[in-house]
Structure 1
Amino acid sequence: MSRFETLTDFIRQTEAQFRIFDMGRCIDKLSVDSFRKVEMGQIPYPKPFLHQAWIAVLMWNPKQAQENVVWFLKLPLDEQGFLVQAARDDFLNRLLQNLTNSQGKAPLDQPGDATEYRDALKDNPFSFTPDQEKMAAFHATATVTTRQPASSFYSPAQQYFQRGSDLQQWDQLGYQGIADFVIRHQDENNEANLATVFNDLPDTPLEAACTFLEHIHPGNDLSAAILQKLEQVTDAGEVSANQIGALLRAVSQCPDDQQKVTVLKQVLSSKYGTEAEVIAALASRCWACLQYPELLQPFLETLAVNQAGQECFNRVMADLMFIPTLRALTLQQFRSPERSEALSKAIGGMFGDGFL
């Protein structure tokens, strides 16, 4: 093992400033102290997704903040959500070996700036590339974190959402511009402007905005607009399941849990409730609301009859039951004598008939 016990120890001894972000369900800051405790096996990873810790490490030199370096890592977790220590050690050894080979010296013998570590994850099996949506959101987050200007697409997006009177003219909007606009929601009245036009947005810019809203914490007015839109389109039943899924992602960070639970129950009881895309969005983004029994029970019943069948049930439950609080609550529901025959059958298909 190297002289660096953890990845956190390694980065701290560079000359770079850095931030760590959770990249699993949404982009969220992860404190350095918390991540070090995860690395030391003192606490489980706080937001597991698909049995792994998905993180981004952003490093930069304060004098050259535009020259930042990002590492995207996925590290396996054990059954209790703790980091697999052997995998962490393997990752760190590969990292240090790459740096030694590329720099011709042992890492940090002569500390350099962050750009020296740009290719440190080459051919590393623990690295990953985020999808286009999350990459755009992270790029917007990184520029805010390092106090850099937004992309060149930001200004046209800002003008579009400010305008409000010509919302059909969206075809020249850049995806990165919408990401910048939403992530910078606290700047220049951006959030108020988005709340004003939210219910009138055409489908394409609406769904694009929703994919980035899951990475911020909207205020009361914007939250009310998102919840109202989800309620309206669910009732009308005229939009695609894709749009319902996008709105569920946007709703996930709204502050009023009870109001969210009410609307989510409405979605589950609608014609969209059994759609795999809707189930997946609700489970992966609104999972915290599933801690309320009045939502968990209808969710499980709907999941049991979802349109994608047993495989979807198994996959969703394997992810949710990895979250300690949800595991206990779910097992309680699974053993309820009031469960339906469909749910009993789905549970049997997952665990075997001897479970109940």
Structure 2
Amino acid sequence: MAHFDTLTDFIQQTEAQFRIFDMGRCISKLSPDTFRKVELGQIPFPKPFLHQAWIAILMWNPKQASENVVWFLKLPLDEQGFMVQAARDDFLNRLLQNLTNSMGKGPLDQPTDATEYRDALKDNPFSFTPDQEKMAAFHATATLTTRQPASSFYDGAKQYFHGKADLNHWDSLGYQGIADYVIRHQQGNNEDKLAEIFGQLPDTPLEACCTFIEHIQPSAPLSEAIRLRLENSVSEGKVSANQIGALLRAISQCPEDEQKIAVLTRVLQSPYGTQAEVIAALASRCWASLQYPELLQQFLETLAVNDAGQACFNRVMADLMFIPTLRALTLQQFRAADRSEALSRAIGGMFGDGFL
């Protein structure tokens, strides 16, 4: 059986076109060079999530782009965010064995097309299936990447978000259509139209939009529309914590500026700040903003008195302290002389539970 040092090396020897995506906190491109360095243990995984590297590998034959193959993988990371080499080797060995068995030829033999790799992850413990939201976003990303048409629901979504339908008549919108519309934000004037209408969207289409906006880099007008909707929702205090969480997911990819930090601070200082849905969105999606010491301090103080108690504090910190930059900043805050008694108790409870 052929030997490969890395999964990247294996993929590159095929005739298929391919892209690697980080599927953890949000869907983002991961260069083959970066992923190969992660595999070789030269650098930690850039954005670990729940102590693992969640990735998708999209492969296709340029002559048959619609016949693509996707591998969804979750590979364990050590306490410093480096890939566990033994697990990666185990995965690769299983992959090569499956291919040898299913193709009836060695892995170095060139495939007829990319679809020969479709069943390569059968019974592989390192594979996973994304949830509905992530799958819809990835499908939209894949068709855009391979220059394939959007789903049949795209036109209906475009009509709706371009203001050519009653905003309250959203029942016929297809979830995949909303994903296609948002992911294709740079086509036509999709993003400008979405920015114009964002403040008026009813709850359901608004929250659906937000779950897909977290996978793009919003323009300045759309970023401002998201910020204003979040700020107004917090001020009025009438929407659900789920909707605040959705808006936090949308704002997570907006530029890191003073206005963004200010509205995140307002969320934490509001009654929404201690609710689990809001904490989860801030920690998992807005982690880059938490690198601002003032916001991190406010976040830790609010987290210490969260509605779900010590278990929630422990879970959130276990994830955040896996990110190298946040680990160092968090430990600084833990040692701060002016931390509250509540935070001191939460820290004591965390270490008392064998956190580290």
TM-score of Structure 1 vs Structure 2, range by shorter chain: over 0.9
In the other structure, the counterpart of 2:49 is: 49
Q: Distance in 2 between matches of 1:109 and 1:261?
A: 53
1:216-253 CA deviation, whole Å, 9 max, x = no partner?
00100000000000000000000000000000000001
**Contact 1:66–1:148 (Cα < 8 Å) also in 2:** yes
Once the 2 structures are TM-superposed, how far is the Cα of residue 332 of structure 1 from its aligned partner? 0.5
The structural deviation recorded for 1:3 is: 1.1
Q: TM-score, normalised by structure 1?
A: 0.98
Q: Does the C-alpha gap of structure 1 residues 338 and 25 become closer, same or farther in structure 2, counting only changes over 3 Å?
A: same
Residues 2, 106 of structure 2: 8 Å contact kept: no
- Say whether 1:134 aligns with 2:128: no
TM-superposition CA deviations, 1:32-63 (whole Å, max 9, x none): 00000001111110110000000000000000
Residue 174 of structure 2 corresponds to 174
8 Å contact kept, 2:44–2:80? yes
**AA paired with 1:11?**
I
Task: Give the equivalent residue in structure 2 for 1:279.
Answer: 279
Superposed counterparts of 1:188-203, under 5 Å: 188-203=188-203
Helix, strand or coil at the partner of 2:55: strand
Does 1:147 find its partner at 2:154?
no
Q: Report the CA distance shift for 1:100/1:166 in structure 2 as closer, same or farther (over 3 A).
A: same
1:353 to 1:108, Cα distance in 2 relative to 1, 3 A: closer
Question: 1:175-324, aligned counterparts within 5 Å?
Answer: 175-324=175-324
Q: Which residue is 2:341 aligned to?
A: 341
Contact 1:2/1:93 (8 A) holds in 2? no
Deviation at 1:163, TM superposition (A): 1.6
Q: 1:259: Cα distance to partner?
A: 1.4
Q: Secondary structure at the match of 2:102?
A: helix
SS in 1 for 2:21: strand
Give the drift of 1:95. Answer: 0.3
Cα offset, 1:164, TM superposition:
5.7
- Structure 1 window deviating more from structure 2 (251-260 vs 154-163): it is 251-260
The gaps in structure 2 that reach 5 residues or longer are none
TM-score after normalising by structure 2: 0.98
Distance 1:164 1:313, change over 3 A: farther
Q: The residue matched to 2:19 in structure 1 has which SS?
A: strand
1: distance between equivalents of 2:96 and 2:121? 10
Mapped partners of 2:26, 2:134: distance in 1: 8
Aligned partners of 1:164 and 1:197 also within 8 Å: no
Secondary structure in 2 matching 1:272: helix
Paired with 2:110 and 2:99, the residues of 1 have a C-alpha distance of: 12
Q: Distance in 1 between matches of 2:153 and 2:231?
A: 31
AA at the equivalent of 1:287:
W
In 1, the alpha carbon distance for the partners of 2:302 and 2:178 equals: 33
The answer for unaligned runs of 5 or more in structure 1 is: none
Q: Secondary structure at the match of 2:46?
A: coil
The one-letter code of the counterpart of 2:185 is: H
- 1:111 and 1:166 map into 2 onto residues whose CA distance is 50
Does 2:43 correspond to 1:27?
no
Give the aligned partner of residue 91 of structure 1. 91
User: How far is 1:214 from its partner?
Assistant: 0.1
User: When the two structures are aligned, how many residues end up with a matched partner?
Assistant: 355
Q: Indicate conservation of the 8 Å contact 1:54/1:72, yes or no.
A: yes
How far the C-alpha of 1:353 sits from its partner, in A, is: 9.7
C-alpha contact 2:162 2:193 (8 A) present in aligned 1: yes
Displacement of 1:349: 0.4
SS in 1 for 2:274: coil
Shift of 1:341: 0.6
SS at match of 2:162: helix
